[in-house]
């Protein structure tokens, strides 16, 4: 059961990483509203790295953002969060593969491998949270500008890149949760009793093991 959870969790994590990469490189995080467009044969859309314009004739022109410090704060933060999520997911994939029960790494014990798989699951969870935060914040800004009557700029709508981000975050969180659930709880080791060794020459060298009686510090007395 634990192995099945690990394998399914890893597959979901890999799928989430692929969608996160597609979401980060997507240029359709927001699209210009058709209600604002003068002609329905022209489209304008933007992503994290560039803005593009397309026509019905098939021409496409994209321009990278010329500055980084001059960009809005939410756009810079979304960039950082998406890059971190992709890196975390890639690291989690490697760690999770090493922590699978079906993989052999030298003489690594099962509890250690479970801790490795748990670390991979935590990284997947963090990656999913980062992606969810980035796409939700970006979508909130797009919706707020669209419904703001005092906003004088171009009004945009939600693009397909945001939906890819939401899907990838769900897969990453689900895969990380399954990896974490595959690690069973460590059982507490009972206290071992202390034994004393006594050698007797009269018994022909036989060794006898007897349980040592614990000393009570409160009942000890000193004699002169």
Is the CB of residue 13 less than 8 Å from the CB of residue 175? Answer: yes
The pLDDT of residue 185 is above 60: no
Q: List strands edge to edge, sheet with 42-46.
A: 60-64, 50-55, 42-46, 30-32, 156-158
For 52-99, how does the pLDDT look when each residue is reduced to its tens digit (9 = 90+)? 888 777 778 888 888 778 888 999 999 999 999 999 999 999 999 988
pLDDT band at 188 (very low <50, low <70, confident <90, very high): very low
**Among 170, 172, 95, which residue's Cα sits nearest to residue 127?**
172
CATH class of 2-181: mainly alpha
Is the CB of residue 16 less than 8 Å from the CB of residue 171? Answer: yes
Instruction: Kindly list the distances between the CA atom of residue 96 and the CA atoms of 17, 88, 100, 157, 181, in Å, as whole numbers in the listed order.
Output: 13, 12, 6, 38, 13
Q: What's the pLDDT at 223? A: 45
Percent of the chain scoring above 70 in pLDDT: 78
In DSSP terms, 198 is beta-bridged to 208
Domain boundaries, the chain: 2-181
Q: What's the pLDDT at 189? A: 43
Distance CA(4)–CA(128), nearest Å, equals 21
pLDDT band at 119 (very low <50, low <70, confident <90, very high): very high
The pLDDT of residue 222 is above 50: no
Does pTM top 0.95 for this prediction?
no
196 vs 9, higher pLDDT? 9
Average pLDDT in the chain: 81
For 138-184, how does the pLDDT look when each residue is reduced to its tens digit (9 = 90+)? 999 999 988 888 877 778 889 999 999 999 999 999 999 999 888 76
Cite the DSSP H helix spans in the chain: 2-25, 73-99, 110-147, 160-181
Distance CA(45)–CA(168), nearest Å, equals 21
**Stretch 86-113: mean pLDDT:** 85
């Amino acid at each position: 059961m634990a192995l099945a959870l690990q394998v399914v969790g890893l597959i979901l994590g890999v799928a989430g990483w692929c969608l996160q990469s597609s979401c980060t490189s997507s240029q359709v995080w927001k699209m210009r509203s058709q209600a604002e467009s003068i002609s329905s044969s022209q489209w304008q859309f933007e992503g994290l790295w560039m803005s593009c314009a397309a026509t019905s004739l098939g021409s496409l022109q994209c321009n990278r953002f010329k500055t980084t410090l001059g960009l809005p704060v939410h756009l810079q933060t979304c960039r950082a969060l998406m890059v971190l999520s992709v890196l975390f997911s890639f690291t989690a994939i490697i760690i999770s593969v090493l922590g699978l029960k079906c993989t052999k790494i030298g003489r690594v014990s099962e509890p250690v491998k479970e801790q490795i798989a748990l670390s991979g699951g935590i990284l997947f969870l963090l990656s999913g949270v980062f992606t969810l935060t980035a796409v939700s914040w970006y979508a909130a800004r797009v919706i707020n500008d669209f419904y703001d009557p005092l906003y004088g700029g171009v009004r945009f709508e939600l693009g397909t890149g945001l939906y890819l981000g939401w899907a990838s975050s769900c897969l990453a969180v689900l895969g990380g949760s399954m990896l974490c659930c595959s690690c069973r709880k460590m059982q507490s080791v009972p206290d071992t009793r202390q034994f004393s060794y006594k050698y007797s020459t009269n018994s022909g060298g036989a060794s006898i093991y007897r349980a040592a009686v614990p000393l009570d510090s409160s009942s000890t007395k000193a004699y002169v």
